[in-house]
C-alpha cells in the first residue's frame, strides 16, 4: 500500500488535535484496498490517478481525525463519497481547460528519406519479372504510363476487352508475387 506522508502543519480547517500515524495506518488497513479499487474503477483503470485520489481522501480524513474513527464502518461511506467527489472534481478540472500540447519528442517524428519508396520499388521490379511478358506490357501501359484501356488497346493492337482481362490477371499475379516476397498489398 502507498505510504502517506504526514504534513508538518495543519491545512486550513484542520483539527487542532494532532492525528497519529496509527490513525492513517488503521484507515489504510481497514478501507484502503476497497477505496483504491473503487477509485480505479471510476477512473477507468488508471491506477496511478486512483492512488493519488486515495491519498487525497486520506488527507481529508486526517484533517478530521478528531471526529472520525478509522475502524468504524460508517467512515467507509464518507470515504466513498470523498473519493467519488475527488474523481468528479478532477474530471471537471480537465474539461475546463484545454489539454496541454507540448513539443513532440523529435526522436519519434518520421523522417522522409525515400528509403521505403526505394525498397518498395525494388521489390515491385523483382515481382514484375515473375509475370508473363504480355502482363508486364499491359501493366506498364495502364499503370505506369497512365494510358486508358482504349489507348493501350490501340498501341498494343488488341481489343479493349483483352486489355481489361490482361490487366486483371496481371494485377492478380503481381499481388501473388509481392505476397511471396513478404510485401502486403492494400
How large is the average pLDDT for residues 159-185?
A: 90
Cα–Cα distance between 58 and 79 in angstroms, integer?
8
Run of H or E including 173: helix 160-180
Whether the per-residue pLDDT at 107 is higher than 90: the answer is: no
Q: What is the per-residue pLDDT across 58-78, written as a single tens digit (0 to 9) for each?
A: 889 888 888 888 888 788 889
Q: Which residue has the cell 495502364?
A: 142
Residue 82 grid coordinates: 470523498
pLDDT tens figures, 126-141: 999 999 999 999 999 9
Residue 102 banded pLDDT, cuts 50, 70, 90: low
pLDDT at 70: 81
CB–CB of 161/152 below 8 Å? no
- pTM of the shown model: 0.45
Rounded to an integer, the average pLDDT of 69-95 is 88
pLDDT tens for each residue of 20-47: 788 888 888 888 899 999 999 999 888 9
pLDDT recorded at residue 103: 62
DSSP-derived secondary structure letter, 9: S
Amino acid at each position: 500500500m502507498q505510504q502517506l506522508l504526514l504534513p508538518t502543519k495543519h491545512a486550513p480547517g484542520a483539527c487542532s488535535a494532532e492525528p497519529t500515524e496509527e490513525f492513517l495506518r488503521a484507515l489504510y488497513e481497514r478501507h484502503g484496498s476497497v477505496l483504491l479499487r473503487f477509485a480505479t474503477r471510476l477512473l477507468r483503470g488508471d491506477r496511478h490517478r486512483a492512488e493519488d485520489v486515495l491519498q487525497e481522501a486520506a488527507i481529508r480524513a486526517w484533517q478530521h481525525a478528531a471526529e472520525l474513527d478509522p475502524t468504524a464502518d460508517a467512515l467507509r461511506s464518507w470515504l466513498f463519497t470523498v473519493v467519488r467527489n475527488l474523481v468528479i472534481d478532477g474530471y471537471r478540472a480537465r474539461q475546463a481547460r484545454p489539454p496541454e500540447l507540448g513539443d513532440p519528442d523529435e526522436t519519434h517524428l518520421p523522417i522522409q528519406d525515400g528509403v521505403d519508396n526505394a525498397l518498395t520499388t525494388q521489390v515491385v521490379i523483382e515481382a514484375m519479372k515473375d509475370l508473363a511478358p504480355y502482363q508486364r506490357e499491359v501493366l506498364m501501359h495502364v499503370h505506369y504510363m497512365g494510358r486508358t484501356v482504349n489507348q493501350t488497346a490501340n498501341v498494343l493492337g488488341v481489343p479493349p476487352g483483352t486489355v481489361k482481362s490482361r490487366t486483371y490477371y496481371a494485377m492478380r499475379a503481381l499481388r501473388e508475387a509481392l505476397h511471396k516476397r513478404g510485401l502486403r498489398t492494400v
